[in-house]
Amino acid sequence: MKFQPAPTICRGRTFTWGERTFVMGIVNLSPDSFSGDGLSVIDAAVDQALRFVSDGADMIDIGAESTRPGSEPIAIEEEISRLIPAIDKIRLAIDVPISVDSYKYDVVTLAIAAGIDIINDIWGLKFDSRLAGLAAAHHLPIVVTSNQRDNPCVGDIMDEIKRDLSRAVALCNDAGVAEGNIVVDPGIGFGKTLAQNLEIIRRLAELESLGKPILLGTSRKGMIGAILGTPVDDRLEGSAATNAIGIAHGADIIRVHDVKFLSGVARMSDAVARRGKL
């Protein structure tokens, strides 16, 4: 029987890892979003969050800066102006945990004040390690992602990811983040080649050695377009396949754009992969 990470308590909910896969719905506030679903009207973002919760999302991830390959960082002031008003209204509308997709200390600080429950750092504390201190001080879960955009891997990709995530987990531990409040993400698409992205999904179970819940984000990503030759708005089959295989190999959370469809994929995958825990 494999080791299960410590449960995570977030917004009064207990996430018991290993029993089922949890679904994180993506709300993009960037007009430059790679997936083409960026929203500029706050009410539309609120409506999307409500729909996602109705469709089965266990948590909502809100971001205001594009992370597509080649995108340029936006000014902190612009990120704040897009993000905080939306969090304010979405927080009033839904009761599931809200994650903020940002790696900037000042942005995350304001997002916490606005009511977010989870920090999602795509740079895995490389950009600003103080985010670990924020997570500890406010008793929030933090997702740390292995990002190779600053230093592409030329060796074994899983060895590199495990080293990188071990570094981030150690920073969280040093800052006092609770054992159950650290989530690891291998970072599909963040500075990896197509072959490396496929290798990560194939070998995802190796990350279980870190003893933390695993978040997988493959939804609509370029690796799917490269294999299927489909545009970004026509990658549902690829998203389904990569998430189903990821769940079979240990993913605890899937981060997705198409919540209703992929919630069904998660439930069916759980019925097969997590025998007896339905």
Active site residue ranges: 221, 255
Residue 198 main-chain phi, psi, to 5 deg: -65, -40
CA angle 226, 232, 236 (to 5 degrees): 90
Distances (CA, A) of 3 to 32, 210, 276: 40, 10, 17
Residues 6+ apart with CB under 8 A from 43: 89
Q: How far apart are CA 58 and CA 55, in angstroms?
A: 10
Secondary structure letter of residue 179 according to DSSP: G
In one-letter notation, the amino acid at residue 141 is P
Give the position of tokens 């991830």.
61
C-beta neighbour count of 212 within 10 angstroms: 26
Number of H helices, E strands in the chain: 9, 10
Residue 172 structure tokens:
């969280």
